[in-house]
Amino acid sequence: MRGWAYRARGTPAEVLKFEVDLPQASPESLGPHEVLVQVKYAALFQGTAAMMAMMPHFNDKAWVPENAYSGVIVATGARVEHVAVDDDVFGGFAADVSRKYGGVLAEYVVLPDHVVVRKPRNVSLRDIAGMGAGGVTAMQFVEVTKLKRGDRVLITGASGGTGTLVVQAARAAVGGEGLVVGTCSAANEHLVKELGVHEVIDYKQHPVLHEYLSDQYSSRPFDAIIDMVGEDNSNVKNSSAYLKADGIFVFGGNMPLIHGGGTILEMIRWFIGIKIAQTMPLLLGGMPRKCLMHSGKISKEALDKLVVFIEDGRMRPVLDSVVEMDQVLQGYSKLATSRARGKLIVHVQD
């Protein structure tokens, strides 16, 4: 089986190799709740590249990366009921699944059936490939904020691969009478407005974001802030000036560390700092507003809900570009620049 794999810690350019003889599971080997998928498209994530460089590799096992895909069912286990052979499917999964089953940047993958569902009727296999992870995460970001019609929300990193999906989910939640504010560069203003952002903040023009927010939004504070950048804690530490007293600040991660090649210790230090600040009194450096970290929890129920969101028009995939299997390293290089607008998809096979 052809696919991309790595056997040591490092950047994709250093350790990720295209291999032609990776082991391939047979239909007879499937467990009762497993499926064999012929992968047609897979999505690239900068977070995958970051973990590739951060996490130690303790053996020479070939690890196939990535966790969002689309494809066709080749075989199913005896107790799989919601998908069948020849179904067009998509999905995504978290680290617990990838540790056991590996990733999807190869021609075939065995997966547990709870991370596989039929694709929406109105979207192609190519376009849906990045939605199984990012789309579920975006929906759940909005769910944890409990946004409702008429609310006001700020989304940082609105033009990114997941940010473009968070914008759409937030716009659906707050409706036409609500307000969605997004940060991005001027070059991406048209894109995010098309997706549902009402007011755009050019982060290049306002590098100290909390100062601009305090000046412009203190009289009309937000009900929620969804931070898809997470550069530092200054935005949440100053949020009492522009986030309602009962509002919520949700972190998605520290993108500068992820894109900048930070170490695992730096990531742990940032994460622990957030967790400690959540529990400390304000006078001792705690946060002035409720805040939490969130990552997507992917399940069949979440994927089914995403299908409904896509089929009824509340969300649609946003693609930056599609690359072929021999261009994967170039794809990761583009993601590392933080300039991708939407998802970067790999065409694995016809």
* Tens-digit pLDDT profile for residues 24-81: 999 999 999 999 999 999 999 988 988 888 777 777 789 999 999 999 999 999 999 9
pLDDT of residue 278 exceeding 70: no
Using pLDDT thresholds of 50, 70 and 90, give the confidence band for residue 282.
low
Mean pLDDT in residue range 120-126: 97
Lowest mean pLDDT among 37-46, 271-280, 302-311: 271-280
Q: Which domains does the chain have, with CATH numbers?
A: 3-130+317-347 (3.90.180.10), 134-293 (3.40.50.720)
* Max Cα–Cα distance, the chain, nearest Å: 64
CB 300 within 8 A of CB 117: yes
Q: What is the 3-state secondary structure of the chain?
A: CCEEEECCCCCHHHHCEEECCCCCCCHHHCCCCEEEEEEEEEEECHHHHHHHHHCCCCCCCCECCCCEEEEEEEEECCCCCCCCCCCEEEEECCHHHHHHHCCCCECEEEEEHHHCEECCCCCCHHHHCCHHHHHHHHHHHHHHHCCCCCCEEEEECCCCCCHHHHHHHHHHHHCCCCEEEEEECHHHHHHHHHHCCCEEEECCCCCCHHHHHHHHHCCCCEEEEEECCCCCCHHHHCHHHCEEEEEEEEECCCHHHHHCCCCHHHHHHHHHHHHHHHHCCHHHCCCCCEEEECCCCCCHHHHHHHHHHHHCCCCCCCEEEEEEHHHHHHHHHHHHCCCCCCEEEEECCC
Confidence of residue 173 (pLDDT cuts 50, 70, 90): very high
Nearest to 62 by CA among 13, 130, 112, 2: 2
pLDDT of residue 252 exceeding 90, the answer is no
Of the candidates 236, 248, 142, 246, which has an alpha carbon nearest to the alpha carbon of residue 196? 142
Is pTM beyond 0.75? Reply is yes
Q: Average pLDDT of the chain?
A: 91
Q: What is the number of other CB atoms lying within 10 angstroms of the CB of residue 87?
A: 17
